[in-house]
Amino acid sequence: MSTSSTTGTTGGSGSEYAGEVPHADHEAHQHRHPTDATYIKVALILAALTALEVGTYFLDDASTTTLVVLLFPMMIIKFAVVCLWFMHLRFDNPIFKRIFVFGLMLAVVVYCIALTSMQFWSSSYGS
Amino acid sequence: MTETATAPQIEDPVLHDKGVVSHQTSTGVSNEKLAMWVFLGSDCLLFGGLISTYLLLRHRVPPGHGPTPSHQFFDIPFTSVSSFVLLFSSLTMALAVGAIHRGDLRRCRTFLMTTALLGSVFIAGQVYEFTAFVKEGLGYTTNIFGSAFYTLTGFHGVHVSVGIIFLLSLVVMSLRGKLSGDKAETVEIFGLYWHFVDVVWILIFTIVYLIP
């Protein structure tokens, strides 16, 4: 049961995207791959964000609330950047994005409910 | 979603002129790729459960029952290096996928091997870290924090290890001439798995290590 996978190299050298691997869905959606240069730029952005995250370790007397406020946005941005560029969700067929986001949102909702039912958000939790 | 001769094949004239062949599936997308995304979506639930369990249990250690999570306990500089290594492996994996799509098999193989090497360095770091923690008195059954911590990070480590095996399999396939340009999607699908492992580590690094 093999799928007829396709490749085609049509991207120009000056283009941001190289190599088109289209998927023929009803919208004749095109799957474009970023160039190596784009991948490297994305990796540098991720490395910079990671460095900023690690930098919070050296903040003296930072409360948990401060750390959460500083670190969670960076974590979410890194998560999204990897999914959108490295995993091609930005360029690929939307059905993949819907499937993954559904699983992710289901996990977030289910476990937020679980944590809430265990009174995890209470300030006295764990004390 | 079966692939049959009678499945509708939607052809775009422009794409057809470029020599593009459609995926002959009822969804119009590759079944294998769709399956990988479904697996990754379900894996979100697995790691969501493990992270939630860790969050619930980490501070439930009675006094005098072993180490508890803190910046003093974790070796943040060491784990940060591991994080950069895994991040860099995602880049090399993406470059491998790009190379195979361009038909550059040799470059693809090089990047696959580099990714496997970086993954191995990450696993070696995790083994070293676990050994150090055990020496500091935190075994798997020492307390509930230890159980939750080792289960969460251990499951992630198993995912990385399985990924390394797959990577080496791809390298062997390419050496035997079974991984040509028309199998680019195989590398791409595996790349999704590897990037997902990286994404999970982004969560673990922040939630477990940086916000103790």
Q: Report chain B (212 residues): mean pLDDT per 10 consecutive residues.
A: 41 44 74 96 96 93 86 91 97 96 93 98 97 94 94 98 97 90 89 97 96 82
In a domain, A102, yes or no: yes
- Residue B82 confidence (pLDDT): 97
Q: Is residue A117 part of a domain?
A: yes
**pLDDT over threshold 60, residue A75:** yes
**Smallest CA–CA separation between B134 and chain A, in Å?**
23
In angstroms, rounded to a whole number, what is the distance separating the alpha carbons of residues A59 and B210? Answer: 11
Is the CB of B45 less than 8 angstroms away from the CB of A106?
yes
* CATH architecture of the domain with residue range B32-210: Up-down Bundle (1.20)
Q: Which of B45, B47, B210 sits opposite A67 (nearest CB)?
A: B210
Please tell me which of the candidates A1, A24, A103 has its beta carbon nearest to residue B15.
Answer: A24
Q: How many helices (H) and strands (E) does chain B have?
A: 6, 0
More confident: A124 or B134: B134
Nearest CA in chain A to B2: A1
Distance from CA of B75 to the nearest CA of A (A): 11
Q: Which residues of B touch A85 (CB under 8 A)?
A: 94
Question: B117: exposed, middle or buried (C-beta count within 10 Å: 0-12, 13-18, 19+)?
Answer: middle
The pLDDT of residue A28 is 40
User: In chain B, what are the domain boundaries?
Assistant: 32-210
Long-range contacts, stretch B116-119, CB < 8 angstroms, 24+ apart: B116/B164, B116/B167, B116/B168, B116/B171, B118/B85, B118/B86, B118/B88, B118/B89, B118/B92, B119/B86, B119/B89, B119/B160, B119/B163, B119/B164, B119/B167, B119/B194
Distance (Å, rounded) from C-alpha B183 to C-alpha B96?
A: 13
Interface of A with B in 2-41 (CB under 8 A): 2-10, 18-26, 28, 30, 33-36, 39-40
- Position B22 scores a pLDDT of 53
pLDDT given for residue A24 in this prediction? 43
Write down how long chain B is. 212
Pick from A53-67, A74-88, B92-106, B133-147: least confident: A53-67
Q: How many domains does chain A have?
A: 1
Q: Is residue A25 part of a domain?
A: no
pLDDT computed for residue B7 by the predictor:
39
| pLDDT-based confidence at residue A73 (cuts at 50, 70, 90) | very high
pLDDT at B14 (0 to 100): 45
Regarding predicted confidence, which is higher, A64 or B19?
A: A64
Give A9's contacts in chain B (Cβ within 8 Å).
Answer: 101-103
Please answer whether residues A54 and B80 qualify as being in contact, where contact means their C-beta atoms are separated by less than 8 angstroms. yes
- Condensed to tens digits (0 to 9), the pLDDT of residues B139-178 reads 999 999 999 999 999 999 999 999 999 999 999 999 998 8
Q: How far is CA B63 from the centre of its chain?
A: 36
pLDDT at site B108: 95
The domain of A117 spans: 93-127
CA angle B166, B170, B175 (to 5 degrees): 145
pLDDT of residue B162: 97
> Touching check for A68 and chain B: CB below 8 Å?
yes
Whether the per-residue pLDDT at A25 is higher than 80: the answer is no
SS3 label, residue A18: strand
Q: What residues contact B153, with CB distance under 8 A and at least 6 apart? A: B126, B130, B204, B208
Taking CB atoms and an 8 Å limit, are B27 and A25 in contact across chains?
yes
φ/ψ of A21, rounded to 5, equals -120, 85
CB contact under 8 A, A71 and B52: no
pLDDT at A49 exceeding the cut of 70 = yes
Q: A–B: how many Cβ contacts below 8 A?
A: 209
Asked if B81 and A47 count as a contact pair (C-beta separation under 8 A), the reply is no
Identify which has the larger pLDDT, A106 or A119.
A106
Say how many C-beta atoms besides its own lie within 10 A of residue B85's C-beta. Answer: 17
Q: How far apart are the C-alpha atoms of A55 and B112, rounded to whole Å?
A: 31
- For chain B, the straight-line distance linking the first and the last C-alpha, in angstroms and rounded, comes to 45
Find the farthest-apart pair of alpha carbons in chain B and give their distance in angstroms, rounded: 72
- The answer to the question of residue A119 being in a domain is yes
What is residue B129's predicted lDDT score, i.e. its pLDDT? Answer: 96
A4 vs A122: which has the higher pLDDT: A122
| Structural domain contains residue A8 | no
Write the DSSP assignment of B125-148 as a string of letters. Answer: HHHHHHHHHHHTT--TTT-HHHHH
- B22, B56, B87 ranked by CB distance to A120: nearest: B56
Using alpha carbons only, what angle is made at residue A79 by residues A75 and A84, rounded to the nearest 5 degrees? 150
Hey, are the CB atoms on B84 and A50 less than 8 Å from each other?
Answer: yes
Residue A123 reports pLDDT greater than 80: no
pLDDT at A8 over 70: no
